[in-house]
Structure formats: C-alpha cells, structure tokens
C-alpha cells in the first residue's frame, strides 16, 4: 500500500476504477473516508436523521454506489484539478442519502407524494474556477497550516485530531456535527477541546517562528458548535 500513498488523487481514483486491487481501495478509504462521512452527515441531517447506525449504513451505501457497474462513476470521473475528487465524492454521497430517504418516503406515502422532495444534487461543470488567485491563495494558506499541524502534533491521536481540524476549518462542520461521525469517537465537548488546543498550538508555533505573521481563520471560539 505504500506506493499508493504517493499517488495523486487522480492517479488513485484511476487505480481503483474498475479494479479489485485491495491495497488501492484501502488507500482510497483512508484518504476519502472523512469527506464521504461528512457529506453523508450533513445531507442526512436535512432529512432529520443523525443516528450513528444509519450514518454508517449510508457511508457503506456510498462505497457500494462507487463500486457498482464495475465502478462506472469512478471510470467516468474527469478531474479538472487535483481537488476535484472531493467535490465529486460529496455529490455522490449526497445523492445516495437523498435517494435513500426519498425511497423511504415513497414507501410510506406513495410515489405520487414525493414530487416536492429535494432532487439529487448534480455535478455542475460551471463551478467556480479553482485556479483563480483567491483559490490558489487559499490552497497555499491551507498547505502552510497543514505543515504546521504535522509539526505540532504527536501521539496516537494525531491523525484523528488532524481530521477534526480540517472537518472544522475546510469542510465547515460544527463541533456537534463532527462528534456525530462514528469514527471520531468523541463528544461535542471533546471535539471543541481538540479544536481549541490545536488552534492554540498553531498560533504558538507561528508566533514563535514567524513574529507578526498570523494564520487566518483560526479564531478562538468559546463554543464551536
């Protein structure tokens, strides 16, 4: 699996598309599990559902969707940039959730009463240009913060805490939403504590190594939910 860790996202998707290469899929899950789980959580909450068992089932359904018809969705994926896969997976996960709950409602009320239900999200080819100056500047900022995170964190919870940080500051999830993801294994208060601790560590690192420089977006919040 070590060689797949060096693959770009586009290369990894290509390796998994129509393939039963177990090592490639293990890396795919490690790399994209959080993105899929976060998209499932947010979409499911629009339907008033947030039980951990249901969320786990929906995440598994998303992987089944990606694998069905010899990984047709992955084979059809054409990246516009390195980060395109993240938006693509969010759309797939959201559609899986919408389909599940629409089907459940159709069974309860009859198909004729589901017309007003939110339709699956479609991939828009006219999304904002990720090569714009603002987008590039933001990516550079995020890369800088990520490098700092790898320097200030240690221990067995390092990857979990890094995941929590990016779910908050990149995906925009609240502390309570992050805590609802089964793999996180923390309460809302536990997530808040991790976020505050990491923000303090990053500010301390920046202040100590580069006086006068600030990392944008790391406001100290009394409550993160």
pLDDT at 152: 78
Range of the domain at 181: 133-208
181 falls within a domain: yes
What are the tens digits of pLDDT across the range 46-96? 888 767 888 889 999 999 999 998 999 999 888 877 678 888 898 899 999
Distance CA 224, CA 177 (A): 10
Has residue 222 been placed in a domain?
A: no
Query: What pLDDT is recorded for position 135?
Result: 54
CATH at 180: 1.10.10
- Closest Cα partner for 83 from 39, 38, 125, 130? 130
Same domain? For 21 and 106 the reply is yes
Express each pLDDT in 2-38 by its tens digit. 688 889 888 999 999 988 889 999 999 988 988 898 8
**pTM, entire model:** 0.58
Residues 68, 142, single domain; the answer is: no
Between CA 29 and CA 34 the distance in angstroms is: 9
Cα of first residue to Cα of last residue in the chain, in angstroms, is 37
pLDDT of residue 218: 54
Residues 106 and 141 in one domain: no
Is 31 domain-assigned?
A: yes
58 & 159 share domain: no
If asked whether residues 34 and 83 sit together in one domain, one would say yes
Query: Which segments of the chain does DSSP mark as H helices, in order?
Result: 2-5, 9-16, 22-46, 52-76, 84-109, 133-152, 158-169, 175-179, 188-209
Kindly state whether residue 127 falls inside one of the protein's structural domains. Answer: no
Judgement on whether residues 69 and 14 belong to the same structural domain of the protein: yes
Shared domain check, 139 and 57: no
| CATH at 61 | 1.10.1740.10
The pLDDT, as a whole number, for residue 134 is: 58
Domain count, the chain: 2
Look at residue 172 and tell me if it is in a domain.
yes
Radius of gyration of the chain (CA): 19
């Amino acid at each position: 699996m070590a060689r797949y860790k060096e693959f770009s996202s586009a290369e990894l998707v290509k390796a998994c598309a129509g393939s039963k290469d177990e090592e490639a899929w293990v890396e795919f899950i490690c790399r994209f599990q959080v993105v899929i789980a976060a998209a499932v959580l947010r979409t499911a909450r629009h339907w008033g559902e947030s039980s951990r068992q249901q969320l786990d089932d929906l995440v598994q359904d998303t992987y089944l969707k990606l694998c069905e018809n010899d990984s047709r969705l992955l084979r059809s994926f054409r990246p516009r940039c390195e980060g395109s896969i993240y938006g693509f997976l969010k759309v797939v996960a959201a559609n899986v959730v919408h389909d599940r709950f629409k089907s459940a409602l159709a069974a309860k009320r009859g198909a004729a009463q589901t017309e007003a239900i939110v339709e699956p999200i479609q991939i828009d080819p006219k999304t904002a240009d990720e090569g714009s100056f603002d987008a590039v500047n933001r990516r550079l900022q995020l890369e800088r913060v990520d490098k700092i995170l790898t320097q200030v964190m240690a221990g067995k919870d390092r990857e979990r805490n890094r995941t929590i940080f990016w779910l908050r500051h990149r995906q925009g999830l609240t502390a309570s939403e992050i805590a609802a993801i089964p793999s996180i294994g923390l309460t809302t208060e536990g997530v808040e504590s991790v976020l505050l601790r990491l923000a303090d560590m990053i500010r301390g690192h920046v202040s100590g190594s580069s006086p006068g420089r600030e990392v944008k977006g790391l406001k100290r919040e009394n409550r993160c939910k």
